[in-house]
Chain A
């Protein structure tokens, strides 16, 4: 096989992996701060995809351009969900939280089925089939936009946590909840804010992903699973780790498909997961819990 094929696929794997990473960022933010495992993660992404689809159909707005609007809607949804429902169950055993979020996930899927039906739907973008030609390398334009979008969103999120007062307060909650309460931070509000930020991040991922895949209500489950794999490999709660985990999965799937057998692509990402769990359970960039 030609070297061009490998280079093309590695480039494609990196770009796809960045989108996987972005899709997992929201999960990482929510778990990192609220310690809640969001089992409705993929379903929330599907809501965002449908919103971007509707905006495209009604106003002709490109999914990339609709990110701020969809993120704002999902932020409000996430904030309200955490403030109104999840905060009340924050101290209950984990399995009850899991069930709560699983129930929300089922409700979202049923709602999407009722409103949009089971058919796969997509946005016919004018540049959907364009590629950049760099010497012998052909890079899919949509993937370049998607990968670039993922880096920008992750950069904005990192800057928010590092340089804003609210971001620092959220990190304080994540690092030491008791300490945060002692210094007078409104933990409940910060939790709701974090959940909202996480869902806004999921919304951005959904808008970007809509350019790559067709949306249907049953898409959610596989993306929830993928997000879990990505954040466990990258490290739960680490934003850079989530992106790194996504890229590792994207590239390993591409190479496994080329070198061995495309049917074994998923086996490699799950193999990577097992290796990380065995030798670095906190994830590649995660902090070890004492």
Chain B
């Protein structure tokens, strides 16, 4: 046996030493990865016709950071992207954030934009947590990287019908005709479809006198309001964005149309900007929306933090679901112990957050990545603030219905 074959060369010692050093450093690297902030690409329409709503969503995300830190979650670094109120830009903005190192995506308020981003997230294998978007098809595509903590259009419509029945029972006034004014974008079309599909099942006391569709970017809605007024309906079911909700209210005042009330299924009517712009004329519309539960401790913490960080800005649907999206990301990162996409997806699938801020039992996802346990509230505007009026168990103020006429307020 030759002794030379057993000789350990200097090169072998170096190689073995390096391997040992690398092996020893691996757990350290993982630990370092856990302490490094998770880079979350936040995509909202912060410019264009949805700008105010997009900015409100961004504020919700930012308000989450100090609260999550206090709760002991790992740090999050927000990377902002602007979808410019356009699906094409939304897609490009998502690509840009991923290229810049985003490890998770959050967004995007508008269903059309969200669909575009979901495709990018799926192609690039980056987990995408949807804060707000109701079009049902988003979680029906079999996507593996897409998770939605927001009710689908059907759930919003079902919840709206339930709340309307409570509203009529509480007020003792039951309408016979309802006119629907709805935007013709992805969200509006999805809600219209759900209204038609679910109406027979809910045995509502009224009939739909007309469905009036309009462009959410319309500069003038006088014709739409005139057409709705001509139906003689007692209530208006509005499916709106923000600027169009303002335009509709102005036209209702100008055309001296005073139905019993506007009941909105979705955004626009409870927004800060709506109430600021219209003053007293912005009082009393009722919105049936996914909302925060004012009695939950986390919701109270969210409201306090938001107020401290953004004085004068109200907390609403945009805030709570954006806030919760960040909570979901932080929770997944904490449990995954890694920022690797598959580890994050695996953690997201097993999400089970009981201490949430929204109405409902908490946050968990089904096999399609949908949280189907979220509830709705009816909120009504009073003096520049939206207050929960239904369900009665969570109500902060007494319901006013039918609402006072325009001349009795301003």
Contacts of B213 in A (CB 8 A): 261-263
Q: Which of A140, A216, A222, A263 gathers the greatest number of chain B CB atoms within 10 Å?
A: A263
Count A-B contacts at CB 8 Å: 88
Tell me if B346 counts as interface (CB < 8 A to partner A).
Answer: no
* Stretch from B130-138, B143-151, B224-232 forming part of the interface with A: B224-232
CB B218 to nearest CB in A, in angstroms, measures 8
Tell me if B201 counts as interface (CB < 8 A to partner A).
Answer: no
B226 contact from A5, A129, A218, A263, Cβ within 8 A: A5
Contacts of B222 in A (CB 8 A): 9, 12, 16, 140, 254
**Are the C-beta atoms of A122 and B277 separated by less than 8 Å?**
yes
B214 contact from A128, A140, A214, A263, Cβ within 8 A: A263
The B-contacting residues of A in range 265-287, CB under 8 angstroms, are: 265-266
**Are the C-beta atoms of A222 and B217 separated by less than 8 Å?**
yes
* Stretch from A83-91, A112-120, A149-157 forming part of the interface with B: A112-120
Q: Tell me the count of chain B residues lying within 8 A, CB to CB, of chain A.
A: 37
The B-contacting residues of A in range 184-218, CB under 8 angstroms, are: 212-214, 216, 218
Tell me if A2 counts as interface (CB < 8 A to partner B).
Answer: yes
Q: A interface, how many residues as a size bin?
A: 20 to 34
Digit string of A1-41 for contact with B (CB within 8 Å is 1, else 0)?
11001001100100010000000000000000000000000
Tell me if B351 counts as interface (CB < 8 A to partner A).
Answer: no
CB A211 to nearest CB in B, in angstroms, measures 12
A131 contact from B221, B256, B277, Cβ within 8 A: B256
CB A130 to nearest CB in B, in angstroms, measures 8
The A-contacting residues of B in range 255-276, CB under 8 angstroms, are: 255-256, 273
**Are the C-beta atoms of A214 and B51 separated by less than 8 Å?**
no
Report Cα–Cα, A253/B254, bound state, in Å. 19
The B-contacting residues of A in range 122-150, CB under 8 angstroms, are: 122, 124, 128-129, 131, 138, 140
**Are the C-beta atoms of B219 and A262 separated by less than 8 Å?**
no
**Are the C-beta atoms of A118 and B254 separated by less than 8 Å?**
no
Report Cα–Cα, A9/B228, bound state, in Å. 13
* Stretch from B42-50, B60-68, B286-294 forming part of the interface with A: B42-50
- The interface of chain B, by Cβ under 8 A from chain A, is 46-49, 51-52, 55, 184, 212-215, 217-224, 226-227, 229-230, 243, 246, 250, 253-256, 273, 277, 279, 281, 406, 410
Besides A9-B222, A263-B215, 11 other CB < 8 A contacts? A1-B230, A122-B277, A124-B279, A129-B406, A129-B410, A131-B255, A140-B222, A218-B48, A257-B224, A262-B218, A263-B184
**Closest A-B pairs by Cβ, 8 of them:** A257-B223, A118-B51, A263-B213, A129-B253, A262-B224, A262-B214, A1-B230, A5-B230
- The interface of chain A, by Cβ under 8 A from chain B, is 1-2, 5, 8-9, 12, 16, 113, 118-120, 122, 124, 128-129, 131, 138, 140, 212-214, 216, 218, 222, 253-254, 257-258, 261-263, 265-266
